[in-house]
Amino acid sequence: MRGSHLLAVLAATLAAVGLALDWVGGPALAVLAVFVLGIAWGWAAALVVTVILVALPVLIGEVGSLAVWALYALALLLAAGMGLEIGARLRKIELRQRRLRSNMRAVMRAAQRATRFQDPEELIARVPRLFEQGLARATCVIEFVGDEIRVVSGGCNPLLWTEAAREALREEQPVYQEEGPGRAVLVVPMCGGRLFVLEAAGPLDEDERALVNAFVSVVCLVRQKLVESREAEQFSRLMTALASSHSLMEASEKVIQLLIPILRASSGIVAIFRQGRFELLAMAGKIPPEEEALLLSGLPAGWGAIWRSYIQRSPLFIEDYGRFDLRVEEVYQAGIRSLVFVPVSGERRARIVLVMQDERVRTWSEEDRNVLALVARGLGLMAEQFLVRERMDALLRLEREVLGSFIDEAYETLMRYAVRLVPGAEAGSLLVRTDDGRFVYAAALGYDLESLRKVSFSLEDVRDAWYNAGEEKWSQGEPRIVSAVGQDIAKMSHKTAPVEVIDQAGRVREIKANLCLPIVYQGGVLAVMNLDAFSDPEAFDDESVEAARIFAQQTALLLHEQHYRKLLERAAHTDPLTGLPNRRAFDEDFGSLWESAQRYGYPLALLVMDLSGFKQINDRFGHAAGDRVLQDVAKILSTHTRHGDRVYRWGGDEFALLLPHTALAGAVRAARRYAAAIERVCLEDHYVHASIGAASFPEDAQKPEELLKLADSRMYQAKAAGLVVEPRG
């Protein structure tokens, strides 16, 4: 203002000179002088000069006319007033510019300090400190947790401007409110879902509000760069951790350990959905014992938030677990207050869920969500590789187990592996094709197998009514999927099986999805595998079909191999002439039946039989006739065998029978019936007779070799004495 002061002095001097020298030019200069003085020095100087200039003509006697003098005085007063108004405005503008420059310097210093931070969360926490000087009376950073405001950093009173904060968050625009002459508040949306609040001691003009907005933008820009840098570092650490893992469980645990400090969480869990339950893969951090017990037992389908996230295939962020509708009370009471559930997927459907937990109510920020999405993607891609490797390893184990087991055990093993290896399967059953072309249940997991064994199906039942995808796909072994959303699975089942059996033993009304898999070898269907889901109508997808195809190929080879093994074993244990089990089969069965009888305390009888005069038949009629006699005897013995009794051809004209749960007296009675039946065999005029020795455990012997020796000895005694049975009974 020094220039204006000099101008005012000059104007006053000119006015005085003008008045002294020339009355015509004097008034104009006087008005100008008062006007300038009003601008430059304010009301006091303008008033004094105005009084002097008005009084001066009177004092020097130059007042020509009272009207002219009055107009002259009014002009001076108006000039003074205008000068005062303009001066006030100019001083206000100068003051505003000075304050704006000061605030700009403060904001620039704050922005410079913001660039020095290395941690994005620390930057947000220190933002209020950056505004300690300048236009702010108080500042803070806040966030909404549910409907409540939480002060992240700084010192403000949220109750004074809650509605302004809600509006700023809702509209995603700054909100400014003046609450009287001594208070104003500006709420600016920040990055990460937070809000910056500035409480000013007085009103803020548009330029000042723009400065605050610019500062927030700078902070968010710096934070974004820090977040990107941290994400790159985290991705590098994630990939290093996953690449060094040797199993899905190890990779899952490393991911949790990586996330806990990044998200500032208290614990983490990774679980995979298999066979209708969430199976724990890894957990780390502060897991409450009550929750750990639930996790180790397996979480069933439909359980809590983890099921909602899995079935909806989308992340679920819970800020306040106490208000969540699917809250598990044991977990809440154990101290868990905030959770996030993220389905883990690569290129396929997510069947793994990553869970992060915290012991405090909190907001999961946008950066938290980005990190979780990044980690879930990386883990998902790696998990798919581990799961494929797991299936390949399992198929190798399956081959060893099946080829080293009996046929019934092989069927059960196949079923167990199929349900575990095909994604989405919770239960299953295996139908095998019999020699007469019908299909019967050979194995089941999750069903009542003994009741299902009562049911058999024709080819048309299985192929046309149940599989119902065409003969071409049937013969190619193409998997077929049906869902309860589009099909009535129970109605489909009722077309081929009794309702009372298939509803109870087969649980068809509970099935939400079915994958039917024909097991084909060289164009022929050896078996049909059904895999079922009870909890999810969309349980089976392309990954399930791909896994089923691989499994079907391996299963077909194993079933084919097992079938021929069965034929070879049957041939090795069967007498080719009579079709009866041979001495080798007798030795194996005798050993197993003896162990059972000894373990469970029931009797076991043995009959040893020799045909009398068989040598004379061969000599008289020839060996072909003798073979026919042996075949007739074998047929009679098989026909008259009681339920549970087993008959064998030892060789030559000797036969043996094992009679479980039979004491000696019962064995003798059975021997007489067998002998009477054999006497019906006649070749021309020559009748066949039998001599039989009987012995029983535990009456006659305590060791298997003793029982065998005694029965054989009694047979020879009966033959020598011309008796039918020894002992005579």
Tell me the sheet residues that pair with 574: 581
pLDDT at 29 over 70: no
pLDDT tens profile 186-202: 999 988 788 999 888 77
Name the helix (H) or strand (E) containing 657.
strand 654-660
Dig out the tokens for 380 from the structure.
Answer: 């998902």
**DSSP per-residue string spanning 17-34:** HHHHH-TTTHHHHHHHHH
Segment 597-626 mean pLDDT: 87
Name the helix (H) or strand (E) containing 488.
none
3-state secondary structure 409-425: HHHHHHHHHHHHHCCCC
Contacts (Cβ under 8 Å, ≥6 apart) of 528: 430, 431, 439, 462, 467, 516, 517, 518, 519
Tell me the backbone φ, ψ of residue 149, rounded to 5 degrees: -90, 135
pLDDT at 674 over 50: yes
pLDDT tens profile 275-300: 999 999 999 999 999 889 989 988 99
Q: Is the pTM of this model over 0.85?
A: no
pLDDT at 696 over 60: yes
* 609 pLDDT tier (thresholds 50, 70, 90): very high
Cα–Cα distance, 107 to 204 (Å, whole number): 15
Q: Give the model's pLDDT for residue 7.
A: 47
Dig out the tokens for 193 from the structure.
Answer: 């879902």
Q: Give the model's pLDDT for residue 394.
A: 83
Name the helix (H) or strand (E) containing 685.
none
Q: Give the model's pLDDT for residue 129.
A: 75
What one-letter code names the amino acid at 371? V
Mean pLDDT (the chain) is: 83
**DSSP per-residue string spanning 556-573:** HHHHHHHHHHHHHHHHHT
Q: Identify the weakest region by mean pLDDT among 359-373, 566-580, 649-663, 686-700.
A: 566-580
Q: Give the model's pLDDT for residue 515.
A: 96
Report cis status (omega within 30 of 0) of the bond before 300: no
Segment 710-716 mean pLDDT: 94
Cα–Cα distance, 339 to 656 (Å, whole number): 72
Report cis status (omega within 30 of 0) of the bond before 603: no
pLDDT at 115 over 60: yes
Q: Give the model's pLDDT for residue 618.
A: 80
Strands (DSSP E) contained in 427-565 are 427-433, 439-445, 456-457, 480-483, 513-521, 524-533
pLDDT at 19 over 70: no
Give Cα separations from 131 to 56, 169, 196, 214, 595 (angstroms): 57, 22, 11, 13, 89
- Asked if 668 and 726 count as a contact pair (C-beta separation under 8 A), the reply is no
Segment 407-428 mean pLDDT: 88
Cα–Cα distance, 449 to 43 (Å, whole number): 109
N- to C-terminal Cα separation, the chain: 144
Exposure string for 143-175, b = 16+ CB within 10 A, e = fewer: bbeeeebbebbbebeeeebeebbbebbeeeebb
Query: How many alpha carbons lie under 13 Å from residue 516 in its C-beta half-sphere?
Result: 23
Contacts (Cβ under 8 Å, ≥6 apart) of 88: none
Quote the DSSP letter at residue 64.
-
Using alpha carbons, select from 356, 419, 560 the residue that is nearest to residue 477. Answer: 560
* 118 pLDDT tier (thresholds 50, 70, 90): low
Q: Give the model's pLDDT for residue 234.
A: 73
Give Cα separations from 632 to 92, 317, 715 (angstroms): 130, 79, 21
pLDDT tens profile 476-489: 999 999 999 988 99
Q: Give the model's pLDDT for residue 648.
A: 96
Q: Give the model's pLDDT for residue 318.
A: 94
Give Cα separations from 579 to 614, 630, 632, 647, 649 (angstroms): 19, 11, 11, 11, 9
Q: Could you give the 3-state DSSP secondary structure of residue 337? A: coil
Please count the other Cβ atoms lying within 10 Å of the Cβ belonging to residue 409: 13
> Which CB contacts under 8 angstroms, 24+ apart, belong to 330-334?
330/290, 330/291, 330/294, 331/288, 331/290, 331/291, 331/294, 331/304, 333/290, 334/288, 334/289, 334/290, 334/291
Cα–Cα distance, 466 to 516 (Å, whole number): 9
- Asked if 339 and 363 count as a contact pair (C-beta separation under 8 A), the reply is no
Q: Identify the weakest region by mean pLDDT among 49-53, 435-439, 534-538, 607-611.
A: 49-53
- Asked if 320 and 145 count as a contact pair (C-beta separation under 8 A), the reply is yes
- Asked if 358 and 261 count as a contact pair (C-beta separation under 8 A), the reply is no
Please count the other Cβ atoms lying within 10 Å of the Cβ belonging to residue 724: 22
Cα–Cα distance, 322 to 319 (Å, whole number): 9
Q: Identify the weakest region by mean pLDDT among 244-248, 274-278, 385-389, 565-569.
A: 565-569
Q: Give the model's pLDDT for residue 474.
A: 94
Q: Give the model's pLDDT for residue 26.
A: 58
Q: Is 622 exposed, middle or buried (0-12, 13-18, 19+ CB in 10 A)?
A: exposed
pLDDT at 22 over 70: no
- Who wins on pLDDT, 333 or 81? 333
* CA 98 to centroid of chain Cα atoms: 60
Segment 109-135 mean pLDDT: 69
pLDDT tens profile 88-100: 676 666 666 666 5
Q: Give the model's pLDDT for residue 3.
A: 47
* 54 pLDDT tier (thresholds 50, 70, 90): low
**DSSP per-residue string spanning 85-151:** HHHHHHHHHHHHHHHHHHHHHHHHHHHHHHTT-S-HHHHHHHHHHHTSSSSEEEEEEEEEETTEEEE
Q: Give the model's pLDDT for residue 73.
A: 62
Dig out the tokens for 510 from the structure.
Answer: 């509970």
Give Cα separations from 270 to 251, 257, 312, 423, 454 (angstroms): 10, 11, 17, 17, 42
List the Cα angle 562/568/572 in 5-degree steps.
Answer: 140
Cα–Cα distance, 376 to 244 (Å, whole number): 17
Tell how strand 456-457 and strand 277-285 pair up: unpaired
* 664 pLDDT tier (thresholds 50, 70, 90): very high
Orientation angle between helical segments 120-130 and 66-114, nearest 10 degrees: 150
pLDDT tens profile 363-380: 888 888 988 998 898 899
pLDDT at 72 over 80: no
- Who wins on pLDDT, 66 or 491? 491
Residue corresponding to tokens 């895999």? 531
- Who wins on pLDDT, 507 or 9? 507
Exposure string for 684-710, b = 16+ CB within 10 A, e = fewer: eeeebbbbbbbbbbeebbeebeebbeb
Segment 670-698 mean pLDDT: 88
List the Cα angle 162/163/168 in 5-degree steps.
Answer: 100
Cα–Cα distance, 496 to 467 (Å, whole number): 11
- Asked if 425 and 531 count as a contact pair (C-beta separation under 8 A), the reply is yes
Contacts (Cβ under 8 Å, ≥6 apart) of 140: 128, 151, 152, 153, 154, 155, 156, 196, 197
Cα–Cα distance, 222 to 348 (Å, whole number): 36
Cα–Cα distance, 591 to 575 (Å, whole number): 19
Q: Give the model's pLDDT for residue 471.
A: 92
Q: Give the model's pLDDT for residue 286.
A: 93
